Structure 1
Amino acid sequence: MERVVIVTGANSGIGLALCERLLSEDSQLRLCLACRNMQRAKAAHSALLTSHPDAHVDLLHLDVGSVRSVLDAAQEVKARYSRVDFLYLNAGIMPNPQVDLKAFFKGLFSRNIINMFATAEGLLTQQDRLNSDGLQEVFATNLFGHFLLIRELEPLLCQAAHTSRIVWTSSSNARRSAFSIEDIQHRQGTEPYSSSKYASDMLSLVLNRHKNNQGLFSSAICPGLVMTNLTYGILPSFFWTLIMPFMYLIRIFTNTFTLTPYNGAEALHWLFGQKPESLDPRAKYHSLTSGLGINYTQPQQMDIDDEMSDILYEKLLELEKEVRRKLREENADTHQLTE
């Protein structure tokens, strides 16, 4: 029986590299590219079929930053498939990242250089904004849209006959210090990306507590430092051209510089072949690359408080009720106007 795998943010970067690796692993699986930009999704679809002509690759329009898009896409998934074996939650944004250049150049000539590049701690802030649903854009895209998708797809994910897997693409930038349980959307802070990724780590843990007995297992991964469109947006392109030889040199001394999307997808691909019962729900699985270019996966314990993760889960459930109510009211108003 073919396995059904959905990958959000699959049209480029780590998501596309993962799709390529999955098809090389199992040419019989049914792969669904869930993307916001359908033009780029079609290009990715063509590229995958060029390298795997007999593959079953579907396209799904999904903007995880839009409640209506998530609900529509979930309905489409339920119409197409009887179950979902793997749901890779890979889509994410870091809008308008700003670099503290003074801190950057100070770190460049310090002992902290490797950690600085690996985590961007103290270097990056982002400009967030409200989306059309009245939610903070980074929170909505990186966390809440995926949470809502899981909730909608529970009938396909939670089935007694087989186990299903959720895998979150997290980050080394996921830090407890950036997250506040009193401000889960990070309206008051300047690090919404870090906050959203830490929240996804917490949500992965709490989903295991609530859903393992229904056959659903969740994991979080860190791709390492990967050069993708998101990364290239942090600094001018000419800078990356100058510094890339230096980055490969640094990789001799640290295994977190995966650098390429293929390498960054290592942990995502590794989890595809693992039995969920053998995995540690409190671990984040890191893609690592040695100085010789050898890829491997290694778990590291996450700094997560059980009580706080439970509170986050309850707050997300309440927010889900709120956005669904708002959507019903909007639909009712629209219906009245058309009568």
Structure 2
Amino acid sequence: MATVTYAFLCSGVGLALCERLLSQDTERLRLCLACRNMHRAQAARSALLAAHPTAQVDLLQMDTSSIFSVIRAAQEVRLRYDRLDYLYLNAGIMPNPQFDMKAFFKGLFSSNVITMFATAEGILTQRDGVTPDGLGEIFATNLFGHFLLVRELEPMLCHAGRTSQLIWTSSSNAQRSAFSLEDIQHQTGTQPYSSSKYASDLLSLALNTHYNPQGLYSSVICPGFVMTNLTYSILPSFPAFLWTLLMPLFWLIRMFTNTFTLTPFNGAEALFWLFKQKPESLDPYAKYHSLTSGLGNNYTQPRKMDIDLGTSESLYEKLLQLESEVRRKVEEKKKEAQHAHRHLAGSVSS
């Protein structure tokens, strides 16, 4: 049987998914953990191999905020493997979060308390940065880097006679109100994270429209409210013991809502569930939610996304245009570097 390769952008939920997949099957799986921090990637690989000594776990350095890093990583993937069956797109950042403490405590005593915890609606904004490539940092990391990776890996993902699957990690914080086609990088707003996640919902639909005939399918999941480093970074100065004190409250809230998955293992439920489905049977308009009952039972439930085909197509066209601009700049920099190298070599020889 041919080796099947799976690629992950490794995080808390991503690592939990790897563990769940290896617990089911170590013979046919070949995992590739893509991470910008190789020390963390090595630690993740060691943990997986400690539990599954015969597993095939490869590492790949990639930073989705860097155009050069994505292109280089994709080239390495094409050299290493001859097929790619699942590509999990879950790299995500939320830098410089601004937490509205007044709105938070006001929300605690309102009927909107559960929605506030689940989506951070009304209490969380961000200040975005700019990458060396001149792109919005959150836009580049959470959306465009993934899009460019998919474009680079088209030859491996699109094959006649078999299917491949893209699985995006979105968020309950993906709000239509935060997104604008006139400002897809959200350079003028205060909710770039929400905008990037809503854009990933739209892009998944567009990718299905363009790639389903070639055997490539795209799906979107929401891990729920999970306690990961991204969650902790929302309140960077929040003492660890206060998070511990809040946990009983979170467990109590879970008795009234199924979106509080809390642990990475639970948050990976929808990712694991999609692994076992036929991609052509999935609904391209649905977001597949990881849910946990008050008694701790995990399950997956599809919920219709607030998206439409027209907007998704418009976003797709804008991303293609941006891709062309980015590739042109990459070629210009490459030529400048080659010219500088030749000039330096000429100076040395003379």
Task: Indicate whether the TM-score tops 0.5.
Answer: yes
Tell me which stretches of 4 or more aligned residues in structure 1 moved more than 3 Å.
none
Name the aligned partner's letter for residue 318 of structure 1: Q
SS at match of 1:165: strand
CA deviation after TM superposition for structure 1 residue 124, in Å: 0.5
1:222 Cα shift?
A: 0.3
1:80-99 maps to which residues of 2 (within 5 A)? 80-99=80-99
The aligned residue for residue 201 of structure 1 is 201
Q: Which residue number in structure 1 is paired with residue 212 of structure 2?
A: 212
What does residue 16 of structure 1 align with?
15
Deviation of the 1:38 alpha carbon: 0.2
Residue 4 in 1 paired to residue 5 in 2?
Answer: yes
- Aligned partners of 1:165 and 1:26: how far apart in 2? 18
**Paired letter, 2:31:** L
Give, in whole Å, the separation in 1 of the partners of 2:308 and 2:102. Answer: 34
Alignment of 1:26-65 (within 5 A): 26-28=25-27, 29-65=29-65
Q: Cα deviations across residues 41-76 of structure 1 (Å, max 9, x unaligned)?
A: 000000000001000000000101100000000000
Give structure 1 stretches of 5+ with no counterpart: none
In the alignment, structure 1 residue 240 sits paired with structure 2 residue 247: no
Give the superposition deviation at 1:240. 1.4
In the TM superposition, what are the counterparts of 1:281-292 in structure 2 within 5 Å? Answer: 281-292=284-295
Identity %: 70
Matches within 5 A, 1:220-259: 220-235=220-235, 236=238, 237-259=240-262
Matched, 1:149 2:152: no
Shift of 1:238: 3.5
Considering only aligned residues, what root-mean-square deviation do their CA atoms show, in Å? 0.7
Separation in structure 2 between the aligned mates of residue 108 and residue 243 of structure 1, nearest angstrom: 13
- Count the aligned residue pairs: 337
Question: Could you give the per-residue CA deviations for residues 252-295 of structure 1, whole angstroms, max 9, x where no partner exists?
Answer: 11100000000000000100000012110100000000011100
Task: Report deviation, 1:239.
Answer: 2.9
2:128 pairs with 1:125: no
- 1:5-55 superposed Cα distances (whole Å, 9 cap, x missing partner): 0001x1x41111111111112212000000000001000000000001000
TM norm structure 2? 0.95
- Structure 2 unaligned blocks of 5 or more: 343-350
Q: Distance in 2 between matches of 1:13 and 1:109?
A: 31
Residue 167 (structure 1) aligned with residue 167 (structure 2)? yes
Q: Give the match for residue 138 of structure 1.
A: 138
Q: Distance between the aligned counterparts of 1:92 and 1:108, measured in 2?
A: 27
Task: Specify the SS of the correspondent of 1:182.
Answer: helix
SS in structure 1 opposite 2:34? strand
Q: What's the offset of the Cα at 1:3?
A: 1.6
| 1:157-184 C-alpha deviation (Å, 9 max, x unpaired) | 0000310000000000000000000000
After TM superposition, give the deviation of residue 2 of structure 1 in Å: 2.4
User: Counterpart of 2:103?
Assistant: 103
Query: By how many angstroms is 1:156 displaced?
Result: 0.2
Alignment partners' CA distance in 2, 1:26 and 1:206: 32
Distance of 1:110 and 1:238 partners within structure 2: 26
Distance in 1 separating the partners of 2:313 and 2:338: 38
Q: Tell me the SS of whatever aligns to 2:183.
A: coil
Which whole-Å CA distance do the structure 2 matches of 1:328 and 1:76 have between them? Answer: 19
- Paired position in structure 1 for 2:112: 112
Q: How far did residue 327 of structure 1 move?
A: 0.6
